[in-house]
Amino acid sequence: MLILGIESSCDETAAAVVRDGRTVLSNVVYSQSDLHSSYGGVVPELASRKHIETIIPVITEALGQAKVSIAEIEALGVTQGPGLIGSILVGLSVAKSLAFVRRIPLCGVNHIEGHVAAVFLTQEVPSFPFVALIVSGGHTQTYLVRSLGDLTVLGRTRDDAAGEAFDKAAKMLGIGYPGGVVIDRIARQGNPGYHRFPRAMPGSLDFSFSGLKTSLFNLLRKRGGVPEGEELADLLASYQEAIADVLLEKTLLAAESCGVRSVVICGGVAANSRLRERFRGEGSLRGLNIFIPPAVLCTDNAAMIAVMAEEHLSRGRRDGVDLNAFSRSPSG
């Protein structure tokens, strides 16, 4: 099936054309990060207005790059939630209109399930069941995945998501937005053993990142300002290491508790180079199969939404024009 995927749940306006849930013909992402960078985070009202301006050009570009016309599209997949409600409604309204006018099936997709589905666009795909770590700006959770769309929560964050821990640290340090991308870049030159940040809730499947953030805040206050150069790189490498350690330990614990040997990492933070390196290294030591999509499929995109839509549609799901957005995931 030739599916047009649409994603607008946060600050990326995205459209993609995917054939049979496997072949990406185009994957266009317009990032609003420049618009939000001076605020150090996403401003919901600005985000939805920008989605309105960019959604049609982004869809047109996706069709153009895929060399298909809208008449050839056989179904629409669109993010229904969780995310910023005003932003989601933009993509959802456009998808509904297109489906109605073209008389083709429409399918709402859970953004979290979409992140997991991204792994099926890679060369080597995992077999079910597997454990997935979904680690993004809004979510840090581990799931047991029995099939696409059948996710059982194993561990979740009690406070901030890992992406927030990156973004809030970058904001505190005044080094740019989105924080994860900036920290990843600067930390490459740093020494992860420079400072020992706390690793919260050892032995539990749940996560907590607020103490880590406070610990950085206290360190900066004691030091009397933001370090620069080599010291900044060392500090960031140490901070990033604390996040990577916790994500790794708890995900492997989750896999062990379910007796599965395949682990998938997805969501924006899975683009982090150190995290990828740590998972690959530890995975090969322990004989686990680690699957991490390429960075462009980890951060928000519409190709992953099209894959998940293909799965739902193949099982007979069809949504109508009454399809509604939701801001929080029913699964937490």
Least separation in angstroms between residue 5's CB and Zn ion is 13
Q: How many CA atoms lie within 13 A of 204 on its CB side?
A: 12
Q: How far apart are CA 131 and CA 123, in angstroms?
A: 19
Least separation in angstroms between residue 115's CB and ligand KG4 is 6
CB 271 within 8 A of CB 298: yes
Contact range with ligand KG4 by CB under 6 A, out of 101-109, 162-170, 229-237, 305-313: 162-170
Binding to Zn ion by CB under 5 A, coded x per residue (else -) over 260-299, reads: ----------------------------------------
For residue 292, which phi and psi values (nearest 5 degrees)?
-135, 115
Least separation in angstroms between residue 145's CB and ligand KG4 is 17
- State yes or no: residue 212 binds ligand KG4 (CB under 6 A): no
- State yes or no: residue 136 binds Zn ion (CB under 5 A): yes
207 forms beta bridges with 157
Query: Please, what is the Cα angle at 88 between 52 and 103, to 5 degrees?
Result: 80
Binding to ligand KG4 by CB under 6 A, coded x per residue (else -) over 169-188, reads: ---------xxxx--x----
Q: Which does 167 bind (CB under 5 to 8 A by kind): Zn ion, ligand KG4, none?
A: ligand KG4
Least separation in angstroms between residue 6's CB and ligand KG4 is 15
Judged by CB under 5 A, the residue of 300, 310, 311, 319 near Zn ion is 300
Output the six-digit token pair for 172.
């505190």
Least separation in angstroms between residue 45's CB and ligand KG4 is 18
- State yes or no: residue 8 binds Zn ion (CB under 5 A): no
CB 145 within 8 A of CB 260: no
Least separation in angstroms between residue 35's CB and ligand KG4 is 15
| Interaction residues for ligand KG4, span 286-315 (CB under 6 A) | 299-300
Q: Find the helix packing angle between 179-187 and 162-173, rounded to 10°.
A: 80
Give contact residues for ligand KG4 (rule: CB under 6 A). Answer: 10, 136-138, 163, 166-167, 178-181, 184, 267-269, 271-272, 299-300
Give contact residues for Zn ion (rule: CB under 5 A). Answer: 136, 300
